[in-house]
C-alpha cells in the first residue's frame, strides 16, 4: 500500500513555498461589510458544539427542533442533531419561496451551444415537486438509491433535490466515467432508478450518455466473468438534451419530459430525521475498488450552508455566485447544489468546457451575468495562465469581489495571477481545503478577516479542530511536516463507506485510534491522507497525498484502480502507476507496464496508445495515463512491493536516490534508459 510517508511534494518546493512572504491583508471596506466577524473564532473555540447548534438553527429550518447536538457514543460514526427532523429540499427551495423570494433567480443556466434557461426559486421549486412526484410514481421512496448520470443541466440539480425531497439516496456518477465504472457504482449501491440524458454538449459536440447507460445495464461480455444485465435497475429516466439518437427499452426507459412534464405540481415535503442518508458519492482510495462515501442530512446541510455563506462572504440579495465544478464531484454537491440553494443564492451553471466556442468563454459568462463570487480549480487557472492574460483582459471582470480555489494546492505564481488578472488586484482569494469525506470546507481563510498568504490554505474554520501529527500520533510543533488529522467530529463528516463499515474504520480511524490529548469528544482522530505543515504563524500548508492516491486536475485517482484496469488487458503481465508532477494538472498519471512475453515483440510499439485507450474505456477519460512506458522489469523491494517513489523519481526526471533496498538494483537503470529512449509523448 503506502511505500513511504514522505509527502508527495519534494522538499525543495516546500522550502520555496515557506519562503513565500507576500501578505494580503483585508481591506477595511471589505471587512466592514463581511459576513464573518473576527470574533467568530473565539466564539467557536469557547463552545464548539454550541457554535454548530446555533449555526444550524440560524441557517436551516427544522421541522422538529433538535435538542442534542452531537452523539459520538458510536464513534467513529457520528450523529449530529439526531433528534431533529427536516427536509433538505424544503430548506433549499420552498422556504425561500415562502419567505417572499420566489422571484429571485436560483440558476442562470448556460448551455455550451449558447442556449440559456433562467430558473427562479419558485420555478425550481415547482420543477423539483414535479420530479419528486414522477420519482414516487416509479416507486422511489425513502432509502432507495438513485443513480444520476447527467451533464451539467438544471435537471441534474432537480434530480438530486427530488431524491432529497423523498428521502431517497442519490449517487451521482460523473458523466465522464465509462460504462464499466457506472455499472460498478450502480451495483454497489443497488440503484433501482438511473436518471440520465440522451447526451450533453462538450467541446462543440454531443457526447452520448444514454448509450453508455445501456451498455452498463446490459453487462459486459468481455468482463472476466460475464456479469449479465444489472438486476436492481427497474427504470431509466432520460432527459432530452443532446437530441442524439438513442435505443429504447420499452417498459424500462421513460422520457423525463413525459414522466416529469406530466406530473403534478403539488408535493408536500415529508420531514426526515437529521441522520437520514442524503447521498453516496464514490471516490478513489488506495485499493482498486472506489469507496461509496455516505453523507446524511442535517449536519451536512448545516456545514455546507455555513461554509458557503462565510467562506465566500455570500450576500444572497446582491451576489451572483459561480462554482465551475461538475455535479459529479463533491464540490458540485456542496457548492453548486446544497450550500448555495440552502442560502438562497443566485448562481451561474454552465454546461460546457472553458474554451468552447472560444478561449474566453468563462470570462464572457462572468461579464454577462455580473458574477461576483467565482470558485474554480488551480489546474484551470494554470491553463488560463498558459493561454495568456490577454484573453481574460478582453472582458469586463469588475463584478468579481471574491475568488476561491479547491482541489489541490495553488502555487503562489498562479495565486498572484488569479488575484491580479481575474480579481483586479483586490478580490480576496480563499484557498479551500476539504475532501469528499469531509463534505464541506474545513480549512480556508475567511475573507475580511484573514491576512492572505499565497499558497497556504491557512486556518481551520471556526468549529473545526485540526492537528499535524507524526506517524505515531504525536502532535508536531510548528514548522514540522506530518500527517493532517481532524481531531474533533464535524457536522458534515462522512458517516461511513456504503456497504463496508470495516473499510471505513480501517481507512480513516485506525491510524490514530487514541485521538489527540485534550480532545473534547474523545475517541479516534480522523486521518485525512494528506501531508501538511504549519508555519510560524500557525498557517497550514498542504503537501500532497501521503498514500497511493493521485491528484490530477483536482480529481482523485487511485494508482491501484488504474493498475487493475491495466492488468485486465490481455497483453499486460504487470503494471505500476504513479502520479508525476505536471505543470498544468498538478499530477499526471504515468504507467510502467510489463507486457506478457508472447505480446512483447509484436505490441511494443502500439501498446502505449492502446493501453491509454483501454484505461479510458475501463474507467473514464480522466484516468487515461499521460505516459505509458513499456519496461522489462519493475523496481521492487525484497518483499515484492513496488517502489513507487523510485518510479516517481524516474517519471519526473530526477536522479534516482538510494536503491539499496531494491531486490535487483539494475532494474532502475533499465527503466531509466528506456525512458530516455522513448519519444516525447503528447
Closest to ligand WT7 by CB, 127 vs 408, is 408
Residue from the set 542, 591, 631, 646 that interacts with ligand WT7 by CB under 6 A: 542
Q: Are 304 and 334 in contact (CB under 8 A)?
A: yes
Q: How many CB atoms lie within 10 A of CB 317?
A: 10
**Least gap, CB of 434 to ligand WT7 (angstroms):** 4
- Minimum distance of ligand WT7 from residue 586's CB (angstroms): 9
Quick one: cell of 440? 464541506
- Binds ligand WT7 (CB under 6 A): choice among 292, 409, 423, 448: 409
How far is 365 from 320, CA to CA, in rounded Å?
Answer: 11
Should residue 407 be labelled a site residue for ligand WT7 when binding is judged by CB under 6 A?
yes
Dihedral pair phi/psi, residue 205, rounded to 5°: -135, 160
Which residue of 129, 202, 267, 556 would you call a contact of ligand WT7, by CB under 6 A? 556
Among 69, 435, 450, 534, binds ligand WT7 (CB under 6 A): 435
d(CA 349, CA 152): 7
Region from 55-63, 96-104, 143-151, 407-415 binding ligand WT7, contact rule CB under 6 A: 407-415
Could you write out the three-class secondary structure of 34-79? CCCCCCHHHHHHHCHHHHHHHHHHHHCCCCECCCCCEECCCCCCCE
Counts of helices then strands in the chain (DSSP H, E): 24, 30
Q: Which stretch binds ligand WT7 (CB under 6 A): 124-132, 249-257, 262-270, 551-559?
A: 551-559
Nearest distance, CB of residue 298 and ligand WT7, angstroms: 21
- Does residue 530 bind ligand WT7 (CB under 6 A)? yes
CA angle 95/97/101 to nearest 5° reads 115
The least distance separating ligand WT7 from the CB of residue 542, rounded to whole angstroms, comes to: 4
Alpha-carbon distance of 405 to 416, in angstroms, equals 13
| Other residues' Cβ atoms within 10 Å of the Cβ of residue 105 | 17
Stretch that binds ligand WT7, among 244-252, 263-271, 304-312, 547-555 (CB under 6 A): 547-555
Q: Is 307 helix (H, G, I), strand (E, B) or coil?
A: helix
Q: Applying CB under 6 A, does 575 fall inside the site for ligand WT7?
A: no
Of residues 94 and 547, the one with the C-beta less far from ligand WT7: 547
C-alpha 526/C-alpha 80 separation (Å) is: 17
551 binds ligand WT7 (CB under 6 A): yes
Q: Under the criterion CB under 6 A, does residue 408 sit at the interface with ligand WT7?
A: yes
Q: Work out how close the CB of 555 gets to ligand WT7 at its nearest, in angstroms, rounded to a whole number.
A: 6
Backbone φ, ψ for residue 82 (5° rounding): -65, -25
- Which ranges constitute the DSSP H helices of 219-338? 256-259, 298-311, 330-332
Find the binder of ligand WT7 among 431, 488, 547, 561 (CB under 6 A): 431
Residue count at the site for ligand WT7 (CB under 6 A)?
Answer: 23
Candidates 222-230, 434-442, 561-569, 576-584 — which segment interacts with ligand WT7 by CB under 6 A? 434-442
Quick one: which of 489, 554, 579, 620 contacts ligand WT7 (CB under 6 A)? 554
Question: CA 623, CA 631: separation in Å to the nearest integer?
Answer: 20
Using CB under 6 A, list all residues that contact ligand WT7.
283, 330-331, 406-409, 431-436, 457, 528-530, 542, 545, 551, 554-556
Amino acid at each position: 500500500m503506502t511505500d513511504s510517508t514522505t509527502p508527495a511534494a519534494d522538499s525543495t518546493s516546500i522550502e520555496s513555498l515557506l519562503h513565500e512572504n507576500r501578505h494580503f491583508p483585508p481591506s477595511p471596506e471589505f471587512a466592514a461589510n463581511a459576513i464573518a466577524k473576527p470574533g467568530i473564532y473565539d466564539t467557536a473555540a469557547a463552545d464548539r458544539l454550541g457554535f454548530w447548534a446555533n449555526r444550524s438553527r440560524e441557517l436551516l429550518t427544522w421541522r422538529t427542533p433538535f435538542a442534542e447536538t452531537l452523539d459520538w457514543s458510536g464513534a467513529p460514526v457520528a450523529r449530529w442533531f439526531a433528534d431533529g427532523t427536516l427536509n433538505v429540499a424544503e430548506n433549499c427551495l420552498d422556504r425561500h419561496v415562502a419567505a417572499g423570494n420566489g422571484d429571485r433567480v436560483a440558476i442562470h443556466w448556460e448551455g455550451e451551444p449558447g442556449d440559456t434557461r433562467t430558473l427562479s426559486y419558485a420555478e425550481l421549486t415547482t420543477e423539483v415537486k414535479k420530479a419528486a412526484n414522477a420519482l414516487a410514481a416509479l416507486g422511489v421512496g425513502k432509502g432507495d438509491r438513485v443513480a444520476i448520470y447527467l451533464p451539467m443541466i438544471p435537471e441534474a440539480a432537480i434530480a438530486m433535490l427530488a431524491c432529497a425531497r423523498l428521502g431517497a439516496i442519490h449517487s451521482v456518477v460523473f458523466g465522464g466515467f465509462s460504462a464499466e465504472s457506472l455499472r460498478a457504482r450502480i451495483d454497489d449501491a443497488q440503484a433501482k432508478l438511473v436518471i440520465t440524458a440522451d447526451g450533453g454538449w462538450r467541446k462543440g459536440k454531443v457526447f452520448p450518455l444514454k448509450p453508455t447507460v445501456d451498455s452498463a445495464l446490459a453487462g459486459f461480455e468481455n468482463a472476466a466473468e460475464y456479469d449479465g444485465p444489472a438486476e436492481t435497475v427497474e427504470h431509466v429516466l432520460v432527459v432530452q438534451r443532446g437530441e442524439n439518437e438513442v435505443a429504447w427499452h420499452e417498459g424500462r426507459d421513460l422520457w423525463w419530459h413525459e414522466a416529469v412534464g406530466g406530473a403534478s405540481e403539488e408535493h408536500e415535503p415529508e420531514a426526515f430525521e437529521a441522520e437520514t442518508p442524503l447521498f453516496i458519492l464514490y471516490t478513489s482510495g488506495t485499493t482498486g475498488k472506489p469507496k461509496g462515501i455516505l453523507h446524511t442530512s442535517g449536519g451536512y446541510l448545516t456545514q455546507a450552508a455555513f461554509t458557503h455563506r462565510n467562506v465566500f462572504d455570500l450576500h444572497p440579495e446582491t451576489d451572483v455566485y459561480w462554482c465551475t465544478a461538475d455535479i459529479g464531484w463533491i464540490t458540485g454537491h456542496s457548492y453548486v447544489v446544497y450550500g448555495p440553494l440552502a442560502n438562497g443564492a443566485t448562481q451561474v451553471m454552465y454546461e460546457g468546457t472553458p474554451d468552447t466556442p472560444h478561449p474566453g468563454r468563462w470570462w464572457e459568462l462572468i461579464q454577462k451575468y455580473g458574477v461576483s463570487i467565482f470558485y474554480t480549480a488551480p489546474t484551470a487557472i494554470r491553463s488560463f495562465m498558459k493561454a495568456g492574460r490577454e484573453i481574460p483582459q478582453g472582458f469586463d471582470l469588475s463584478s468579481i469581489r471574491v475568488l476561491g480555489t479547491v482541489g489541490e494546492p495553488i502555487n503562489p505564481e498562479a495565486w498572484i495571477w488569479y488575484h491580479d488578472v481575474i480579481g483586479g488586484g483586490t478580490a480576496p482569494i480563499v484557498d479551500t481545503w476539504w475532501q469528499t469525506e469531509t463534505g464541506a470546507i474545513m480549512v480556508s481563510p475567511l475573507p475580511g478577516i484573514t491576512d492572505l498568504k499565497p499558497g497556504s490554505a491557512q486556518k481551520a474554520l471556526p468549529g473545526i479542530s485540526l492537528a499535524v501529527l507524526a506517524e505515531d500520533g504525536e502532535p508536531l510543533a510548528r514548522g514540522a511536516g506530518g500527517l493532517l488529522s481532524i481531531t474533533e467530529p464535524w457536522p458534515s463528516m462522512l458517516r461511513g463507506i456504503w456497504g463496508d463499515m470495516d473499510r471505513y474504520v480501517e481507512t480513516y480511524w485506525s491510524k490514530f485510534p487514541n485521538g489527540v490529548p485534550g480532545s473534547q469528544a474523545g475517541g479516534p482522530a480522523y486521518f485525512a491522507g494528506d501531508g501538511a505543515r504549519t508555519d510560524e504563524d500557525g498557517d497550514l500548508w498542504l503537501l500532497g497525498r501521503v498514500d497511493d492516491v493521485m491528484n490530477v486536475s483536482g480529481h482523485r485517482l487511485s494508482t491501484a484502480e488504474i493498475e487493475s484496469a491495466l492488468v485486465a488487458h490481455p497483453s499486460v503481465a504487470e503494471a505500476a502507476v504513479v502520479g508525476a508532477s505536471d505543470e498544468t494538472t498538478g499530477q499526471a498519471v504515468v504507467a510502467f507496464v510489463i507486457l506478457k512475453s508472447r505480446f512483447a515483440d509484436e505490441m511494443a510499439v502500439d501498446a502505449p496508445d492502446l493501453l491509454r485507450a483501454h484505461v479510458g474505456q475501463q474507467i473514464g477519460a480522466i484516468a487515461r495515463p499521460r505516459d505509458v512506458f513499456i519496461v522489462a522489469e519493475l523496481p521492487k523491494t525484497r518483499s515484492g512491493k513496488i517502489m513507487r517513489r523510485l518510479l516517481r523519481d524516474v517519471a519526473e526526471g530526477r536522479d534516482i536516490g538510494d536503491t539499496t533496498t531494491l531486490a535487483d538494483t539494475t532494474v532502475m537503470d533499465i527503466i531509466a534508459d528506456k525512458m530516455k529512449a522513448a519519444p516525447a509523448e503528447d
